[in-house]
Structure 1
Amino acid sequence: MNGWPAELLCSALLALVLVFAVARPRGLPEAVAAVPAAALAVGTGAVPWADARDQLTQLGPVVGFLAAVLVIARLCDDEGLFRAGGQWLARRSAGRPPRLLVGVFVLASAVTAVLSLDATVVLLTPVVFATASQLRVRSRPHVYACAHLSNTASLLLPVSNLTNLLALAASGLGFLHFAGLMALPWLVAIGLEYAVFRRFFAADLAETPAPDAAASTERLRPPAFVLAVVAATLGGFVLASAVGVNPAWAALAGALVLAARALRHRTATPRQLLDAASVPFLAFVLALGIVVKGVVDHGLANGLAHLVPDGTSLAALLGIAVLAAVAANVVNNLPATLMLLPLTAPHGAGPVLAVLLGVNIGPNLTYAGSLATLLWRRIVHAHERTVDLREFTRLGLLTVPAALVAATVALWLSLQTLGG
């Protein structure tokens, strides 16, 4: 099968997979729809087996890297790292909402950058809820910050987001070069987010704290062993990249060290470690890559190629970032990344990183922009809170365009300074 019938089939399959991922009926994993869709695409010939195999080979190391980072994040939580972080927030804020917001921005940005956006959404958001409740302050600004920073603050390191891992492979950059180019856009985007949050949630942040809000805050020492392993793993990423070894091996080493300790101390079982790796989600990523491959190869690539600006000028980078942001909100940021990277990679690292700005900052505009935002929404509902669609969208309209433009300018400046 080829031509328009194949394009129609793959587009329908992609729409079905994305709708299922957004709705997740009965809490079923995304792979329940994605894996059969990929099998159908290959079985009908819409995606030849050789192309599907190549796509799996390309995504395999990225998915393995993601699995290791997810295990590290979960074991850090089991060791009390996030509880210690919550207590640090409570002590530092002394019950004052503005100081708590600063602390949440600092902690969420660090967690997202080092342990990935999933750690911020799944592990840190409940801690922020608990901290706000303990301090008897409104949780809205601080919980919304977790959602926004899980996307925006994932710009810094290749390990911060699955989209970053894909971009790293396409850009040809090393770990340190990638981080160096993205450091200024990361800081600028987070700074703009913070400025908007202070204004947008002014009423929530102006409430008077309870006099004894932080009086009972106990002190937990951060788990030194876990912090040492995380630091060594980050160092391993840098070293592996410098000698031409896939950084996934460093992530695997860190995960194995923490897993061996957890098994020895019986704080985790093999089944829990497997659950932490989120195998169904990994299968979803691989299957989605095959379906997107079919959509791109049978016509979408030609259409998008006419929309992608040429060159690495500031205007071109802005155009690419905006296109990527729009695509992320239409088809979700992961498919958007898979679609746009092959079209921008031949033009160098600059356009690839501009795509990353769009697919990482852009999803703060709508719920469907990233799977992390959808997961955050479910966690908020699990805490018996509601998310107002109009409020979420209004906040996104105030943050996304400004942060996207400012971060793109910052990326252009970084490229002029560091090269790309």
Structure 2
Amino acid sequence: MPGHTERLTGGPALNTPYVETLSVVLLFATLACAVVRPWGWPEAVVAVPAAVVAVAAGAISLPDAAAEAEHLAPVVGFLAAILVLAQLCDDEGLFRACGAWMARAARRRPRSLLAYVFAAASSITAVLSLDATVVLLTPVVFATAARLGARPLPHVYACTHLSNTASLLLPVSNLTNLLAFAASGLSFTRFAALMALPWLVAIAVEYAVFRRFFALDLAAGFRAPADDPEPVAVPVFALVTVVCTLAGFIATSALGIEPAWAAAAGAAVLAVRALARRRTTPVALVRAAAVPFLAFVLALGILVRAVVDSGLGDALDPLVPEGTGLPALLGLAFLAAVLANLINNLPAVLVLLPLTAPLGPGAVLAVLLGANIGPNLTYAGSLATLLWRRIMHAHDTEVDLGKFTRLGLLTVPATLLLSVVALWISLSVLGG
């Protein structure tokens, strides 16, 4: 019957405008609860029932929902493995050693601490994903700044900005990267080669703006400790495991195997060692995998698919620039940035990838630039930023909305513009 959709259950058909409205309401309610987290509930408490309602009401059929979950399964599996790997690295003392290195290196030069934080946050984000930077490095940076008597704001703000901006380099650096990687058809090394220049440019622009924006904080309130910080032993086994895991990402990509297996292998090696030494427990490993958050990602994917199928994809299609020249790449990146700040960057990528994948890997990577850099403009742009705010509150530090927004306005447009130009240069030199 025209204007109606049939539900999988064979029940009465629902009016299409009703289905469209319901799917949008469910998505925004899920995102709002992820931002607010009423009563401290996990994101999945609202997301999973919302996905069930979307299927039951006919906003998405059960086979389509199952297909979307199957499509996201390797991404979710990788996320679980990398979260466990990062937590085990923290248990081994890798982040404490990083903090000790920063404290020793910046002992006599207060302004240099920001550079060391940038180096540490960029490296950790690229290799262990943005969650490791937000959850594990931010507390270390707080402690390092306190030890040196430095004002913490420039350095902890760097953690949240770089958890987004510095996640451009590798397919494994961000959940959005894994989705884009799967849609791009690129190999692991090809992806990294094309994104290396945009990654470096984006970090350099962020650093230049931070130095100027936080000039007073960087110059004030610093006192060098009388004694050198005590050296902290580098956890060689954990470091070697991370390096081998990174090599495993490259090998699995060459063999056409999902990177989740390499991440799982690295996590398993450290988990066996930690269990044997009684440094962790099976319950702690399951907790580190953040199962409720994994369920949230799956449910969110289903809800986004319902919204796209209900008409959002058709509405956005005319806004997608044609071609892959510099103007088109800029248009795609800024479109992704705007959408990320409206509905969060993960849904934005899920919405835009089906529209841009046919245009080639250059278009997909431009979307990724917008989705990863754009969220630095608002709190709701990235789940990592929301998590960072909770860590700030746990350290009795309030996030000034005005300062956060001003910093975003200074960094995001310039970083996005120059990184897209850098991507265009990489595509011109290396080929898309």
TM-score normalized with structure 2 length: 0.96
How many Å separate the matches in 1 of 2:379 and 2:236? 37
Kindly report which structure 2 residues correspond to 1:20-419, keeping only aligned pairs within 5 A, or say none.
20-207=33-220, 209-212=222-225, 215-419=227-431
Q: Which moved more, 1:300-309 or 1:245-254?
A: 245-254
- Give, in angstroms, the shift of residue 211 of structure 1: 4.1
Alpha-carbon shift at residue 209 of structure 1 (Å): 3.0
- Whichever residue aligns with residue 248 of structure 2, its letter is G
Whether the aligned pair in 1 keeps the contact of 2:23 and 2:54 (CA below 8 Å) is: yes
Asked whether the 8 Å contact 1:56–1:286 carries over to 2, the reply is yes
Q: Which amino acid aligns with 2:34?
A: A
* CA deviation profile, 1:308-330 (whole Å, cap 9, x unmatched): 10110100000000000000000
- Residue by residue over 1:259-314, the C-alpha shift from the partner in whole angstroms, topping out at 9 and shown as x without a partner, is 11111111010010001100000000000000000100111000100101011010
Distance 1:211 1:77 in 2: 27
Q: Deviations over 1:80-124 (max 9, x none)?
A: 000000000000001532110000000000000000100000000
Using the size of structure 1 for normalisation, the TM-score is 0.98
Distance 1:26 1:96 in 2: 43
- Quote the Cα distance in structure 1 between the aligned partners of 2:37 and 2:18: 28
Runs of 4+ aligned residues of structure 1 deviating over 3 Å after TM superposition are: none
Counterpart secondary structure, 2:399: coil
Q: Contact between 1:2 and 1:298, CA under 8 Å: does it hold in 2?
A: no
Against the structure 1 CA distance between its residues 208 and 386, is the aligned structure 2 distance closer, same or farther, given a 3 Å change threshold? closer
Residue 216 of structure 1 deviates from its aligned partner by 4.2
Partners of 1:63 and 1:194 in 2: CA distance: 32
CA-based RMSD of the aligned residues comes to 0.9
Deviations 1:361-405 (A, max 9, x none): 000000111010011011111100111100000000000000000
* Cα distance change on mapping 1:208 and 1:275 into 2, 3 Å: closer
Cα distance between partner residues in 1 of 2:131 and 2:335: 25
Cα offset, 1:208, TM superposition: 5.9
Give the counterpart letter for 1:309 in structure 2: P
Distance 1:419 1:3 in 2: 43
Find the aligned partners of 1:305 and 1:259 in 2 and give their Cα distance.
46
Q: State whether residues 328 and 336 of structure 1, in contact with CA within 8 Å, keep that contact through their aligned partners in structure 2.
A: yes
Please say if residues 96 and 208 of structure 1, whose CA atoms lie closer than 8 Å, have aligned partners that are also in contact.
Answer: no
- Provide the secondary structure at the position in 1 that maps to 2:275: helix
Unaligned runs of 5+ in 1: none
Q: Which amino acid aligns with 2:382?
A: S
Distance 1:298 1:47 in 2: 8
- Report the Cα offset of residue 212 of structure 1: 2.6
Instruction: List gaps (5 residues or longer) in structure 2.
Output: 1-13
Q: Distance in 2 between matches of 1:397 and 1:46?
A: 37
Determine the C-alpha separation between the residues in 2 that align with 1:129 and 1:244.
Answer: 41
- Take 2:370 and 2:354, find their aligned partners in 1: how far apart are those partners? 15
Of 51-60 and 2-11, deviating more is 2-11
Task: Tell whether the 8 Å contact from 2:104 to 2:228 is kept in structure 1 after alignment.
Answer: no
* Count of aligned pairs: 419
Instruction: Give deviations 1:319-356, integer Å, cap 9, x for gaps.
Output: 00000000000001011111001100011101100110
Letter in 2 for 1:273: L
Equivalent pair of 2:44/2:293 in contact (CA under 8 Å): yes
State the alpha-carbon separation in 1 of the partners of residues 408 and 183 from structure 2. Answer: 29
Residue identity over aligned pairs, in percent, reads 66
CA contact (8 A) 2:147 2:225 kept: no
The Cα offsets for residues 196-251 of structure 1, whole Å up to 9 and x where unpaired, read as 000001111112632436x2411012111111111111101101111111111111
